[in-house]
Amino acid sequence: MKDYHRPQLLFQIFILPLVVILSLTSALTAQEQPVIPADSIIHIPAPTSNVVAVDYVYDRGETVELTWNLSPDDTIGGRIDGYELTRIEQSTGKMDTLEVIPAGISYYKDDKLTHGHKYAYLIRSVYFGAKSSPVSSNIITPSIEIINWRLANLFAIAFILCGSVIYFIAHAKKGKKLFIRKIAGLEAIDEAIGRATEMGRPILFVPGINDMDDVQTIAGITLLSRVAKVVADYDIRINMPVSRSLVMTTARETIKEAYIGAGRPDAYNDDMVRYITDEQFGYVAAVDGIMVRDKPATCFYLGAFFAESLILAETGNSIGAIQIAGTAQPAQLPFFVAACDYTLIGEELFAASAYLSNEPKQLGSLKGQDVGKFVAMIAIVIGVLIATLAELTGSSSLENLSEFMNRLFTIVS
């Protein structure tokens, strides 16, 4: 009895589920394969219509925009895969198949053209390899424009900002006294360097992890110049590990000039600035190691920082260094604020050099910057008021005005 039931039990436990699983798998696999409709072999999709090529304005004469009406077959679940685009250069007759635009799309931007040449386009509807008859566009010659009027609003804003900066620089040259608010982080620089002098320990200067093409790095280097002068005067050791070779050469020049200026060129040493690596966390590991081994009295973090900001600042905090940080990366500012003694927030980093120089011309540029802030504040208040009133009253003229304000401060590339 027992032996009789064993094969049946085996079948129930193993074979039956196995068969079910295999059947389901093959069924699912079959679903994934494309199903070719029976009529696809003979069905030729209906062609598009109204193919229009227009010159893309405000460019270097290299772009044309193409639009067309969708094929009548281009409906949801309709019998069309896409539209095959062919470009014809009129002077040579050369034909280039561009790409197949998916169904439902009736726009293409061709930006691989040569200014002054004549082009036309052919569009064919495609469905499982079957193509409709081609529909031709008009002949178009992409033209070059001198001014990008699309950016007129940006130009106006830039003009006001730059104009006010230049005006106040010229104004300051005449000897007019300008009021600039105190920046605590910058006032503390001398105190921080003084602390290193008293303790006889080095200063660590970290200029961020970006290259010299980042304005934050340049701002950091301008501050290095001020720091290096005091360092040279008081004969303190400065250690500057960098993650970019160009920053290394620039920083060396800056420190060297500071030592020459202080009348102590012999005290300058190239090894004060040393290259570590371009790799973000490799650099962080090396700088952390330097901090823990050398225990600098003062740490400066001035430049572009990313995920490494808190790792550096917390390590500096753990060794008891006085820390001054400055960056224009908004996401990293909270970390520096939490872990450092002083933080230069965004614009303060850029203002630092001008502030410390105390030169009228440089201070004038800061005053010009304030005009920009004033304009921004006025625009925000007016914009918020108009948008709120438009929402409350439902007035179409206020909505249009709100839309205009929005467009005025939106940059279209």
Partner 1 sequence: MKRKIPVLITFVVGSVLILSVFFPPIETWGEDFSIFFDIIAVFAFFLGGGNLLRIHTKKAIKRQKDWGFSIVTVLGFIIMLIAGLFKVWNDGGIAGDVAAPGSLFQMMYNWIFTPLGATMYALLAFFVASASYRAFRAKNVGATILLVASFIILLGRTPLGTYVTGWIPKSLSIFNIPDLAIWIMTAPNLAGQRAIMIGIALGVVSMSLRLILGVERTYLGVDNE
- Which residues ranging from 169 to 208 are in contact with partner 1 (CB under 8 A)? 169
Least CB distance to partner 1 at residue 380 (A):
9
363: which DSSP letter? H
Using rule CB under 8 A, residue 268 touches partner 1 = no
Which among 46-54, 80-88, 272-280, 399-407 is the span making contact with partner 1, rule CB under 8 A? 272-280
Rule CB under 8 A: choose which of 120, 180, 311, 389 binds partner 1.
311
Nearer to partner 1, 15 or 166 (CB): 166
Q: Of residues 116-155, which lie at the interface with partner 1 (CB under 8 A)?
A: 144-148, 151, 154-155
Rule CB under 8 A: choose which of 55, 89, 314, 399 binds partner 1.
314
Which residue's structure tokens are 């290193």? 196
By DSSP bridging, strand 64-69 and strand 238-242 are: unpaired
Nearer to partner 1, 68 or 335 (CB): 335
* Closest to 134 in 3D by CA, of 163, 162, 95, 180: 95
235: which DSSP letter? T
Least CB distance to partner 1 at residue 408 (A):
15
CA atoms within 13 A on the CB side of 184: 7
144: which DSSP letter? B
Which among 7-15, 45-53, 68-76, 341-349 is the span making contact with partner 1, rule CB under 8 A? 341-349
The two most distant CA atoms of the chain are separated, in Å, by 116
Rule CB under 8 A: choose which of 328, 386, 390, 398 binds partner 1.
328
Question: Sign of the CA dihedral 83, 84, 87, 93?
Answer: negative
Using rule CB under 8 A, residue 277 touches partner 1 = yes
- AA identity, residue 206: V
Which among 31-39, 73-81, 131-139, 240-248 is the span making contact with partner 1, rule CB under 8 A? 240-248
Nearer to partner 1, 70 or 248 (CB): 248
By DSSP bridging, strand 342-345 and strand 49-55 are: unpaired
Which among 43-51, 83-91, 116-124, 367-375 is the span making contact with partner 1, rule CB under 8 A? 367-375
Rule CB under 8 A: choose which of 271, 394, 397, 410 binds partner 1.
271
Measured CA to CA in angstroms, residue 14 lies from 20, 24, 25, 28, 354 at distances of 10, 16, 16, 21, 81
Rule CB under 8 A: choose which of 120, 285, 401, 405 binds partner 1.
285
Q: What angle do CA 35, 39, 41 make, to 5 degrees?
A: 85
